[in-house]
Amino acid sequence: MSEQITQEMKASGVAQVLVFLKPSADKTASSVRANLEEHFTRSEYSVASSVAAASKSLTASSIPKMRYYRNLGVALGTVSRDGLAALRADKENVEQVSGTPPIRLIRPREVSAASLTGNYTWGIKSLGVKELWDQGLSGKNVLVGHLDTGVDGTHSTMKDAIFNFAEFDEIGKELTPKPKAHDSDQHGTHTAATIAGRAVGGKNVGVAPQAKLASALVIEGGDVVARVIGGMDWAVGQGVKILSMSLGFPGWWTDFLGLTKIIRARGILPVFAVGNEFAGTSRSPGNYNQALSVGACNEQLEVAEFSSSQLFKRKRDPIVPDLVAPGEAIISAKPGGGYQSMSGTSMATPHIAGLAALLWEAKPNATVNQIE
């Protein structure tokens, strides 16, 4: 049993679980979903019920027993011990039952006021991006998934950059009607502009300035696992080629491993931050060997002191991160206009997502492995 499930069962008698359907299961069949749903329960001890109780707009009856994500082929909900046993006994449809460790934004180590004085950030220069631009590459026709705190769609760098935007509420339901692209914090606008920010007055912060973003507001707060998985499922449905996530849960947890495998199997490159907790640490899913894990370096191309790194006792990909990218004193867009500087692996990750967009434009028939 997942450690997360065990601890939740001990504490409250129920646990939130993620159910992966077998490849052979008919994921479009309503009967399959109905059979799954009967094993889930509503409980006052669940994460969703706690969120609803604290909300002015939600009620316990508004919480579904189970959320099904058809693009990923997984289900999420709360189970009792009997429900958990029944799911595990369903050998025909259920591949695996995993826990849901609390996922969190990877907060910057430093945030400061800044202005963009040169035509290119040091990150763009150090990655040799301008040389790729000179070859005619810009990320055109490449769609990048961006799961974060949202993005300020009115910022000048975001003009025509947003292909689609979604927001997932406190219990993981996509808001309708669709809201205008906005940032609930400042993190998302910074990372989004690093991926695909358009040049403004000849000044550049975006690595792939003609790529498009499918950006979802999924964090922080509420039933964050439901919000993030909802965003992942939505991004897959949008047809993204790259998924950029600067979030994770500290330590090694295998619960999201199946999701990362599914993302990759769908022909999408998962570009995930490794964390800002210094050497000897890392975050999942950024420490999975199926992810392209990203650490941070400074302008001298030295690994940033805060950048997480870890050695695992496994044959494949034993060291994380896989690479480091510009992540210290990175200038990018600020919600409401202007720019600011941030430091963190969250800033390094969108550099690599943007670079992957340039490479995919150059080789549109390349596989995920080839791009990586």
Question: For residue 135, how many other CB atoms are within 10 A of its CB?
Answer: 9
Q: Among residues 90, 148, 152, 169, which one is catalytic?
A: 148
Tell me if 264 sits within 8 A of 95, measured CB to CB: no
Tell me if 215 sits within 8 A of 151, measured CB to CB: yes
Active site residue 255: no
Q: Among residues 187, 282, 309, 322, which one is catalytic?
A: 187
Q: How far, rounded to the nearest angstrom, does the alpha carbon of residue 117 sit from its chain's CA centroid? A: 31
DSSP-derived letter for residue 185 is S
Active site residue 148: yes
Helix extents (H) in the chain: 3-12, 30-37, 47-54, 81-89, 122-126, 129-134, 187-196, 224-238, 257-265, 345-362, 368-371
With CA atoms as reference, report the closest residue to 89 among 104, 79, 76: 79
Environment class of 174 (CB within 10 Å of its CB; exposed 0-12, middle 13-18, buried 19+) = middle
Q: Which residues pair with 150 in a beta bridge?
A: 183
Tell me if 185 sits within 8 A of 336, measured CB to CB: no
- One-letter identity of residue 281: T
Angstrom distance (rounded) from CA 212 to CA 197: 9
Q: Among residues 46, 183, 346, 351, which one is catalytic?
A: 346
Percent of the chain that is helix, strand, coil (3-state, to 5) = 30, 25, 45
Secondary structure of residue 152 in the 3-state scheme: coil
Active site residue 24: no
DSSP-derived letter for residue 141 is T
- Burial track 323-332 (b if 16+ CB lie within 10 A, e otherwise): ebbbbbbbbb
Residues tagged active-site: 148, 187, 346
